[in-house]
Structure 1
Amino acid sequence: MKEDGENLAIYTQERGKWMMKDPYTFFITPHYQNYKYMLINLDRVEPTDL
C-alpha cells in the first residue's frame, strides 16, 4: 500500500496490458518506470480485476 492510502503497488509482468485497459486505474509514476511494478487506484479498480 502506498503512503497515500489510495493506491496499491504490485509486481507484474503484464503492466502494459492493464495500463492499456484502464490507464486511470492501472498506472505508473516515473519512480516505477524501470521496474516491473504498477500502481492500482483502489477507488477505481473492479474487485474481479484484483
Structure 2
Amino acid sequence: MPAPWHRGRVVLLGDAAHSLTPQMTSGGGMAIEDALVLAQELDRNDDL
C-alpha cells in the first residue's frame, strides 16, 4: 500500500506495511521500528 500507511483509525505496521517474503523473517523487527515511529508521531500532536 502506498504511503500514507493509515486510513482513518487503521495503521499498517510490520509486514503489512513492508511486504516481505516469509523467509526474510525481518517483519518482527520492522513492526517494533514502526511502533516506535508511530509512538513518536502520536507524541508530537495533542489532537489526533
TM-score by length of 1: 0.25
Structure ranking higher in strand proportion: 1
* Higher CA-based Rg: 2
